[in-house]
A = this chain, B = another copy of it.
């Protein structure tokens, strides 16, 4: 086997090695099936078992109540920007409120504007997206009776994350893009009308998106939403209205099984993620002259640690030397620059130790 690099990419991100090994062992022919997961019928018994286990694992890991449906959709979070905006009804007086704490929230807002009345409820864009609103601040920023409130639980590009499930009054549907911290910690899923997540950070490979949708949302979908953008199409057909992304769902099932059996659930995962993130943030705090963290302390992401070096030239050297040492994907998003270390669930502690050792050595040599 070729040696594996340490993958700090923001997404698609690293997958757990045991998941890759199991997918590899069965790639030409699944035991008892005699065909690859890349070529089996989505209506056959084997895949029906896979998608059922994927849902059951998600329900167990996130403690999803029976009031919520679990849907497997294609198109990524960007497709969800439209689906949310088209499935949750708005009328003249009832706009949607968007809380924008980074680039992805801004994209969600821009897409919602195309579909109906929308309001920017809160943003710190002018301060460079360094934090999420506090609990009181969030409550004060939203309107009395919006159609829904949309938040982004973790901003992948800026590395700012809500420390807990955001709170809005129960009567207001709360919708979240949870793509980049999905399954990284327990959440209070009952608070969400819709939580959606592209799989390619913590849940599986690119090509499948999970949407967890409360039943009352399904009951109010307006007419004439295109079939594949209508949440009911997925809810009414167990995500099998047409051919789903079979292999992506299979790998997602393996990842959720790994979370359940090898990690021991999301409390245990959070503990690991906190320990990994603390190693990097502590280093930033120890060496502030060379590493300047982007996010405010209370909004620091456990998934994407973003920081700057004193000059862009030093940042280029940092990325190049890390790359040469087998640590890839550390370059910040092209829209913001800097450094970003994405340390998703599948990043082992040893990978973060290699990074911090490198960072210490780089600082000493600079």
Contact = CB atoms under 8 A, between A and B. Distances in A.
Given A38-B205, A79-B74, A1 B15 contact: no
A226 B114 contact: yes
A4 B32 CA distance: 10
Given A242-B76, A248-B207, A35 B14 contact: yes
Interface in A14-30: 14-15, 17, 20-21, 23-24, 27-30
Given A34-B4, A74-B207, A227-B111, A39 B15 contact: yes
A42 B14 CA distance: 13
A2 interface: yes
A355 to B, nearest CB: 16
Contact of A245 (B7, B77, B248, B328): B248
Interface in A30-60: 30-36, 38-42, 44
A21, A39, A42, A227 interface centre (most CB from chain B within 10 Å)? A39
A24 B35 contact: no
A41 B9 contact: yes
A156 to B, nearest CB: 11
A57 to B, nearest CB: 18
Contact of A246 (B2, B41, B205): B205
Interface residues of A, number: 70
Contacts of A23: 27, 38
A206 B326 contact: no
A74 B34 CA distance: 27
A201 to B, nearest CB: 10
A12 interface: yes
A9, A23, A31, A35 interface centre (most CB from chain B within 10 Å)? A35
Residues of A contacting B: mostly: loop
A229 interface: yes
A33 B76 CA distance: 25
Nearest to A80: B228
24 contacts: A2-B28, A2-B31, A2-B32, A4-B29, A7-B39, A9-B39, A9-B40, A9-B41, A9-B44, A12-B42, A12-B243, A14-B39, A15-B39, A20-B28, A24-B28, A34-B326, A34-B328, A78-B242, A82-B226, A111-B227, A206-B244, A245-B245, A247-B247, A247-B248
Interface of A: 1-5, 7, 9-15, 17, 20-21, 23-24, 27-36, 38-42, 44, 74-79, 81-82, 86, 111, 114-115, 198, 200, 205-208, 224, 226-229, 241-248, 251, 326, 328-329, 346
Given A1-B29, A24-B27, A245-B248, 15 more contacts: A2-B28, A2-B32, A2-B33, A2-B34, A4-B34, A12-B40, A12-B243, A14-B35, A24-B24, A39-B205, A75-B79, A77-B242, A79-B228, A82-B229, A207-B247
